[in-house]
Structure 1
């Protein structure tokens, strides 16, 4: 008789059914069939159960005999009251519980029966539902399993009393853990920098590079040349002189104000009496007015103009700092582009050498013409990179020509300068002395003083007046000198004076807020410049080490391609491009780091003092 080799799952199903039939306390066949047909297995976590060896294969005769006994038990009459038949829909496929579920129910009914099959991955078998099924009543009623997941309370109790070899019951998912709220008062920290082992430049390179004092002198000479040529600096100097004259204008109002008047002879015409006396002769008049009390209007105006003079001075200093930054940044950029041009020329020469070499090879071996095409393509790319570097250098030279004119600055050709980032705390402490911030504060104080002057203008004014007129009356008598006290008070102006005062106060408050914003902006610029300088200089050292390794790789690839034939020309060209790109990246990051050092000093308002080598206080 042939043996049927069934899967482990089918074997477990048959063994479980056999145990359920043979056990005295097990459920009836009808209940087993109901569970077999109506239970839907839910995917559950698998407990750790020791695996057992597989059972032997069952013959076809034994399996047929067991199925016949189970079919007879389905049609056997029972004395109990039958439930109404459950109308099933059209034949469809439903998942059948695995053998592990049947074994779990059998173990719950008879604890002495051990588990024969280890837990297997969850899977379902597809069977076709027959015609309406009559459910036979069992001596011990067991609630029916739900069709779409879950157990009844009785089933869960039975399952919970089983041993550790049973499948775990279905439980609802636990609630998601609550998110820990962030502390609002803690200031966010910066991302920690990774610890990198970067090899420093050789001592010979460091000694050959220009020193910091030498660079300061070069840049300071260029900045002084730019200051002498700059029309913007001269414009701010003229604004300082204008502000000083405004102060003198207001101070002059404290002195007696002398007015001289004159009348020409009057000619009479038309109807009426004619005046034939000497009173019709030309006359002169003198009026002298001296302010005695103005409730602080003049003094507040003088104070406002003096603060304007300070603001103009700070504007001049800020313009000088900005010009020094433009010149320094332009010189650093020009040095960078000149180095990139030299590297690009070497790259072009190398590609030209490869093209010439391959042209000779292709003349003898036409099968390698594709390599010549690749080399020509890289040669054109090298020329494009060179042209790009030359274009950027010319743009920088045009900017420097606008600032320096025909003056030539002797820039050092070294690839590395002895410049180090300054101390961040020192620069942040100097932000309070930045000319732009001081200018904003002076303008705010000037606006507040102007508001006080407008407030005083609405109060009474007391003047001492002395006057004299040389004119004569009808009888030829000349008037004498007159003196007295004059009081003037604009009692009602429709609220215009109060509105002007409030407008001046609001403008002053707005300027104060702008100064606070400028302080925060300057501090962030200093921090950003310091971070850029340190990170770019470190990245430049990394690219220098990478360039050294890329140089070895490109030489090895060339030897392996030319002498051994183990590399393709594409590998050689890629290695040459990587070497060129790494060198350019090193120079770019290094000189961008130097530019960030200058930018940090300029953001703190100390670039001119640093170039002049003035100690910071």
Structure 2
């Protein structure tokens, strides 16, 4: 379970943008150092690099050695050939010309290794967004809990006041019942927000472990709207888009290699062994050029070439779809951020108005008897609902901004260097 001391509160008023990024970036780095998924992807990248070396090795002369024991003949009464005895054979071959098959294979695997590297960067962006979004959600719920606690305290004081009044005037017992009902509602809402905060803590613990992090107290964080035009240009180089493009280029090169494999291949061969001929002389070394050409394979070669071409086309379509998806996500997130910041300002203004109303209603009820208790309770409920709406809208805006940077593949860079304004 998450240690309650692992997520601490700090003064929101003293928080700067640089300080906020340091806190968030520190949590992201901690998550990156421990998540098995990133380690798996990095291992896949190393495997892809090894595949490149394996393909490069095919360009060098291939040397093989064979050994053979003395032959034993049986099952025939005819004369047998002279036994050459134990022998060792050596075969050296190298490709002279293969229509670029090997070079295309090497290039294709390099692109696949690059794609694996981009996959790592894309997953790092996704992890960063998960961590930051979870921290924002946790801060949101903690602020909501604090507001509901203030509401509970306010209703508790009102119930205590009414309890004293009812002891002197039993006819006002119904007012106490109304206040107690609102108190129970406030406590229920507070407990529900606390449960959501606990869920966010557990999710954060899953991502970063027991690493201590600080969260600003309050909802006014130094996060502003991002520059949409800059991020749209950045999204074209999102790691996931670059990954899809590298996979498409790899598929294209693999199609070329497959096509080249159906053409004649020229090799140079050097061979020899320690066996002896009929006269007992050691056999000479031999060197020659060899041409191999798969003239007929039942159509499998042609089908393999066509399949490689279709995979290339599919990968390029995937890259285009990735660009379109991220552009749409960016524009949607930017609109969400704009509207959420606007709602937060409206809720703030409304909260100030309802604060004056609730205080006026309370005075009119308590001092002058010109308002009913229901008016007072409704005014209190409106005030705290508006405050909670303001907090929710602010954090909706913050999460939308983070979604913008993540959709552009620039969240990690923003946390480290400041991103784009």
Q: TM-score range by the shorter chain?
A: over 0.9
Selected match of 1:260 from 65, 68, 75: 65
Q: Is 1:613 aligned with 2:410?
A: no
Selected match of 1:221 from 6, 23, 26: 26
Selected match of 2:109 from 302, 305, 327: 305
Secondary structure of the residue aligned to 2:198 is: helix
Where does the alignment leave 5 or more consecutive residues of structure 2 unmatched? 1-10
Selected match of 2:261 from 445, 450, 457: 457
User: Please, what is the CA RMSD of the aligned residues?
Assistant: 1.9
CA contact under 8 A between 1:268 and 1:274: conserved in structure 2?
no
Highest Rg: 1 or 2?
Answer: 1
Partner of 1:346: 150
The Cα shift of 1:395 comes to 0.9
Partner of 2:298: 494
How do 1:510-589 and structure 2 match up within 5 A? 510-589=314-393
The Cα shift of 1:277 comes to 4.5
Aligned residues: 411
Selected match of 1:272 from 77, 88, 112: 77
Partner of 1:379: 183
Partner of 1:481: 285
Secondary structure of the residue aligned to 2:269 is: strand
Selected match of 2:276 from 472, 482, 497: 472
Secondary structure of the residue aligned to 1:289 is: strand
2-side partners of 1:415 and 1:344: how far apart? 14
CA contact under 8 A between 1:209 and 1:418: conserved in structure 2?
no
CA contact under 8 A between 2:12 and 2:217: conserved in structure 1?
no
2-side partners of 1:508 and 1:615: how far apart? 34
Where does the alignment leave 5 or more consecutive residues of structure 1 unmatched? 1-205
The Cα shift of 1:219 comes to 1.2
2-side partners of 1:364 and 1:616: how far apart? 65
Partner of 1:590: 394
Secondary structure of the residue aligned to 2:211 is: coil
Secondary structure of the residue aligned to 1:485 is: strand
* Change over 3 Å in CA distance of 1:585–1:207 after alignment to 2: closer
The Cα shift of 1:264 comes to 2.6
The Cα shift of 1:247 comes to 0.9
How do 1:236-247 and structure 2 match up within 5 A? 236-247=41-52
Partner of 1:232: 37
Selected match of 2:55 from 242, 250, 264: 250
Q: Is 1:407 aligned with 2:211?
A: yes
Selected match of 1:600 from 386, 404, 408: 404
Partner of 1:395: 199
**Higher-RCO chain (CA-CA 8 Å, sequence separation at least 6):** 2
* Change over 3 Å in CA distance of 1:375–1:616 after alignment to 2: closer
The Cα shift of 1:474 comes to 4.6
The Cα shift of 1:615 comes to 6.1
Q: After TM superposition, what 4+ stretches of structure 1 lie above 6 angstroms from structure 2?
A: none
Tell me the alpha carbon deviations over residues 72-115 of structure 1, each in whole angstroms, 9 at most, x when there is no partner.
xxxxxxxxxxxxxxxxxxxxxxxxxxxxxxxxxxxxxxxxxxxx
More divergent stretch after superposition (368-377 vs 296-305): 368-377
How do 1:35-434 and structure 2 match up within 5 A? 208=13, 210-273=15-78, 275=80, 277-279=82-84, 281-434=85-238
CA contact under 8 A between 1:240 and 1:312: conserved in structure 2?
yes
Using structure 2 for the length normalisation, give the TM-score: 0.93
* Change over 3 Å in CA distance of 1:417–1:526 after alignment to 2: same
